[in-house]
Structure 1
Amino acid sequence: MKRTTIKTLAFAAALLSQFAAAQAGEVTLFSRDNFRGEEVTIRDGSRDLREAGFNDRASSLVVHSGVWEVCEHKDFGGYCAVFERGEHNDLRRFNNSISSLRQVERGGRGNGYGAGGFRDRDRDGRDDREERREERREERREEWRDRRDDRQGGGYNRPDPIELFEHARFEGRRVSFQGEIRSLRTAADFNDRASSMVIYEGQWQLCEHDNFGGQCAVYGPGRYDNLGPMNDKPSSLRRVR
């Protein structure tokens, strides 16, 4: 092979390498708003941020290069949105709710719409699934108000004092308890699954290990649509007051 041909091939390879580097995207996620707290940098996308120890933890992000689609569930499922290059110091809708992300083409989405594709069958400009989620949230709020009123009024429809939900915003499978649970694995097959919670009565301690071991946190009466640092961690719980 002639030397000029070798030089031409080497030059072309260098150009291709530079082009690929220019196309490669990079995004950094931060555990707190305004780019504070722990951070992780993603370059090749992630179908499940659990693998990076960052599932449902991001509160701000910086897109260094490329255009990125972030989704609330793994494998790009649930509600998704596209973030372009720049600093995003408050994720609002996605605060502590990102489970997967990938680089996409500008003005587009990933390879097909997938589980997180936009759906608007009634043509009102809103994602049908988001509308349904809002309806379910309102149903949950109504149910909680009814239970609260029953309890305050001395009615007989008395719910268990604590209720755990599999997903954020009171969605997915739910379980309720009246007293101490030393292992959610054996008591309800709900180990490391709780992402939101309603406490109707009392102060409750949630712990990340069986028998109240590891990191623990105490919560009072109220609705918690996202458990934050305890998301997908509770393995035991008990009433402390």
Structure 2
Amino acid sequence: MEHNMKRLFAAAALLASLQPVFAGEMSLYSQPDFRGSEVTVRDAAPNFRDFGFNDRASSIVVHSGSWEVCEHKNFGGYCAVLRPGEYADLRRFNNAISSAREVERWRDRGDGRWDDDRGGWRGDGRDGREAWREGREERREERRGWHGGPGIELFAAPRFGGESVGLTGDTRTLRSMGFNDRAGSLIVREGEWEVCEHADYRGRCAVFGPGSYPFLGDLNNEVSSARRLR
């Protein structure tokens, strides 16, 4: 009997070690600046209609993990990946999010903190909200460290693949950089940027705030100019 109990406890300990130590968490708010009704998700949400929150999100706090938010249910339509941080105004996604899922898991660095493949700080093993609040100043310091570098980086392939070009200011045409109609994804590190399908900011345009955008939807391989709005 004692031998069987030991085996049972050993099996339970093994199963516990295989569970995710720190799953992602994201809160969505019905109004800008984190006001109004709130829904918090920790697992994939293929249809926000199940929560009575379809097309209602106007601001988001990503407490931990990287989350893909999409305009249609079942992760369809236009999507973007949001990393830990505060998104007070969703712009392109305002009242247009119907599904979301975590797309990146953190690994244990061995010192009580967690990071992703790029080595960025993302929180610890405590409650996600607590880690977010305590890490707010550190994230602000990281954002200040972006100053002086490219505010936006364009990639030649979806999911940030291929060649890339970084922009620090208004660019009336990407032709001189050899990047006209080539962008398939982008990362905004600072500010809000308008990207357009024609030179001189003409044609179809879209505004992107800080975050990672693995797909550009209708603007895929159609971007010819970009400028910072603020």
Q: Same fold (TM over 0.5)?
A: no
- TM-score of the pair, normalised by structure 1: 0.43
- Structure having the higher helix fraction is 1
Greater RCO, 1 or 2 (C-alpha within 8 Å, sep 6+) = 2
- Structure having the higher strand fraction is 2
Structure number with larger C-alpha Rg: 1
- TM-score of the pair, normalised by structure 2: 0.45
